[in-house]
Structure 1
Amino acid sequence: MGDFVDGERAIRSRWSPELLNPDRVSQLITDLIPNHEIRMNRRYGVHIIDGSDPSSDIGRFVEWTVFDEYFSNDLSVMEQEYGPYDKFSTFIMVLDYDKIEPVGVIRIISPSDNGLKSINDMTSPGSPWYCEGDTAEGRLAEVGVDANNTVDIATMAVMPEYRSNHAADGVSAALYSTCVRWSMQNNCNGWVATVDSKIYNMMQAWGEPFKDFDHADWAAYLDSLSSKPVHLELLTGLEKIKKLDVEMSRSGQLVDVHGLYTRGAGLEDKFVLPAFDV
């Protein structure tokens, strides 16, 4: 996989207690807090960090904390499952500037010679979703988007102390919105993911954007009792959400989920958001 460089030292992995300790994470967050002119007293900020940047360890810290809590995935499991994709990952992170704490993360894995984790897992013999003759190319073809424009939404995690209020605070909305806008900016119209049933049901409530892969049903996965791989053609999914907005407005429910996802509408007062050209 090659070495990461952290300061003057080369290290083989980002998944070490030395790097993923709370004091170091707090310092990394402090270094990312913008000046007063940009922040304008907003509590939260959304940051997009390349997986080779040392600041991406904030995202790994959140992944490890949450996955260890829910699925008992310790550092060795996290390194085994996600380490091969670290250099090809982009981390979308919500940070609490007031408390100097990480709040949540989405990991996006881009195409590389290592492939996409969700596709690799699905086409690996022994996988609960493996069918004889499965290939990565065949499964990617189901997405209906050029493989070079398809990414893996590999993780989504919110820290325990923010979980009860994350819907009201807009943390999940900020993560999803930035993920959509990053994808549009980078012409990544195809998404794949392996999602727990709770996340799946929550997302499908907004126009059923996800589609199932053929012969891939609910199964235990990485200690999740019920997960499955899904795919999404982003622009089509956004059109479904837009139609749902219109239907809800006709019933007197004024919502703009499409605007939230594509423009960050409604988030600007509470979050420092990344700038996008689209």
Structure 2
Amino acid sequence: MPLRLLIAHSPTERAAAREVEARVFLQAFGNTPEVMEEEYGPYGDRSRFVVVIDDASGSALGAARLILPDGTGMVKTLADVAGEPWRLSVPDSLRAADLAGRPVWDVASLAVDRRYRSGAAGAEVTLALCHGLFQYSRLCGADGLVTILDDRVLRLLRAMGVPWAAMAGATSREYLGSPASTPCICLVDAIGESIRATRPDLAPAVVEGVFRSIALDPADLFPGRGGSLPEAAVSRQPARTAAPRRDTSGWRPPTHRRPEVAVSSPGTAAGS
């Protein structure tokens, strides 16, 4: 089975990602197409899909939806936790995680076809989606991630070393068909370090993107895949300073150095 990990870019790839998302959320939580449209439709233009595609059939084995922030920095998870049943203060939650005023993306759903949730090959689909979420958000300059995870999936991801922490003041509550879900937050830069420290056996897959049965072209996770990035979605990088022009009349020790510039949710079904 020729499998690939990528950010869905073509209409066909995006349709395959949405199809597996819809199928899994219907099976796991009873979320009908009408519910999915009501919950996720308003965020369609700001959605990016990490997906494992079967090239032979064109179908998706699993997909994760990222929602990029609007001009105010708002994403679905932050809007939802501000209302019932949690009624959290979004500014306080971001401040507590050291993410106030920084680009925060939403891992709005994580869905793996039930046929690929067990065995080595199935487990690798989940690992691949986690790598794609980590790598794409990091390369695009996101500083933080938020989500609302079914508690069963939260336990699975924490066991994998992914450092999801409950938002300040958040408790486990019923949410969109999940009997127990928790709003979570994490720093993108902490993901690789956490997995290497707690699950070094998973680091080659989740952090480095090395898989046995899933092919990965690094370019398929580059910024620009899935659509252009809104200004609000990325970090404000410091302006690059041009390197000093070399004096070709005769060598002399340089008096300036170029500054370094950082490059910067409920089986597995999860939803926010």
User: Fold-level match, TM-score > 0.5?
Assistant: yes
Q: CA deviation at 1:270?
A: 2.1
Structure 2 Cα separation of the partners of residues 92 and 47 of structure 1: 6
- Based on CA coordinates, which of the two structures has the bigger radius of gyration? 2
Q: CA deviation at 1:168?
A: 4.6
Structure 1 Cα separation of the partners of residues 44 and 120 of structure 2: 26
- How high is the sequence identity, in percent, across the aligned residues? 27
Q: CA deviation at 1:239?
A: 1.5
Pick aligned residue for 2:52 from 81, 94, 105: 94
2:87 corresponding residue in structure 1: 130
Q: CA deviation at 1:235?
A: 1.6
Q: CA deviation at 1:192?
A: 0.4
2:206 corresponding residue in structure 1: 261
Q: CA deviation at 1:102?
A: 1.7
Q: Which amino acid aligns with 1:116?
A: V
Structure 2 Cα separation of the partners of residues 244 and 112 of structure 1: 34
| Mapping for residues 184-263 of structure 1, pairs under 5 Å | 184-207=138-161, 209-245=163-199, 255=201, 257-263=202-208
Relative contact order: is structure 1 or structure 2 higher (C-alpha 8 Å, sep ≥ 6)? 2
* Aligned partner of residue 214 in structure 1, secondary structure: coil
Q: CA deviation at 1:150?
A: 1.1
TM-score with structure 1 setting the length = 0.72
Q: CA deviation at 1:167?
A: 5.4
5+ residue gaps, structure 1: 1-41, 247-254
| Mapping for residues 74-153 of structure 1, pairs under 5 Å | 74-113=32-71, 115-124=74-83, 127-131=84-88, 134=89, 136-145=90-99, 147-153=101-107
Q: Which amino acid aligns with 2:149?
A: V
TM-score with structure 2 setting the length = 0.73
Q: CA contact under 8 A between 1:96 and 1:103: conserved in structure 2?
A: yes
Q: CA deviation at 1:238?
A: 2.3
Deviations 1:42-78 (A, max 9, x none): 620112125x946412211111111111111111100
Q: CA deviation at 1:228?
A: 0.9
Residues 53 and 113 (structure 1), Cα distance of their counterparts in 2 relative to 1, 3 Å cut: farther
5+ residue gaps, structure 2: 223-262, 264-272
- Give the structure with the larger helix fraction: 1
